[in-house]
Amino acid sequence: MTRYHPSLVALHWLMALLIAVLLSSGGLAPTRMHVVGGAIAAGLLALRIVVRLAMTRHLPTSVDRKWRKRAAKCVHVGLYVLVGGAVVSGIGVAIEADLLAAYIDNRAVHGFSEGALYALHVALTDLLLIAILGHLAAAFWHQFIRKDRILSKIWFGKPESE
């Protein structure tokens, strides 16, 4: 079994954990913590894209049909686009609400939840949650129905064939 490079595995699980926290804390956690988490997610996403593009060897997929390969690729690209869109729209909300100045002046932030950028951010994060649930369903289908041990590829271990 060939595994993903450990740096990709680490970035995958760091992002999964952070995005789970961000999706579950939006509107509940203090805005400052959510903004910092979003900034970290932006950095991890950029790093993940750079590392992924720098990899010279790509793993063969366990997908047997051409349409499934295309669907898997579209889903993964879609996840990147949705995370990137959520980050960019979140930055837009922060700029529109002048959050940096509010944080520097240590004042409360009010009224940004009614703007179009905020509505876009919420819509993108809702779509991201749906896409993540689909991603999880596909991973579990591969692991438990097809029994192709796909989850072993995205976990830590020897990167070469066993």
- For 157, the 3-state DSSP assignment is coil
Q: Which residue would you say has higher pLDDT here, 84 or 33?
A: 84
**What are the CB-based long-range contacts (under 8 Å, 24+) for 26-30?**
26/122, 26/125
pLDDT digits (tens, 9 = 90+) for 64-102: 678 877 888 888 899 999 999 999 999 999 888 888 888
Establish if 160 belongs to a structural domain. Answer: no
Convert the pLDDT of each residue in 92-130 to its tens digit: 998 888 888 887 888 777 666 778 999 999 999 999 999
Please give the model's pTM, rounded to 2 decimal places: 0.84
Give the position of tokens 């995005």.
Answer: 19
Range of the domain at 100: 6-153
Q: How many separate domains does the chain show?
A: 1
Tell me whether residue 88 is in a domain. Answer: yes
Residue 1 lies in a domain: no
Rounded Cα distance, 86 and 53, in Å: 22
- pLDDT for 62 equals 55
Look at residue 116 and tell me if it is in a domain. yes
* DSSP per-residue string spanning 7-36: HHHHHHHHHHHHHHHHHHHTTTS-HHHHHH
Q: Which H, E and C letters describe 88-156, residue by residue?
A: HHHHHHHHHCCHHHHHHCCCCCCCHHHCHHHHHHHHHHHHHHHHHHHHHHHHHHHHHHHCCCHHHHCCC
3-state secondary structure of 160: coil
* 162 lies in some domain: no
In a domain, 139, yes or no: yes
CA torsion angle 7 10 14 15 (round to 10):
50
Asked if residue 75 belongs to a domain, the reply is: yes
- Cα(100)–Cα(156) distance, rounded to whole angstroms? 38
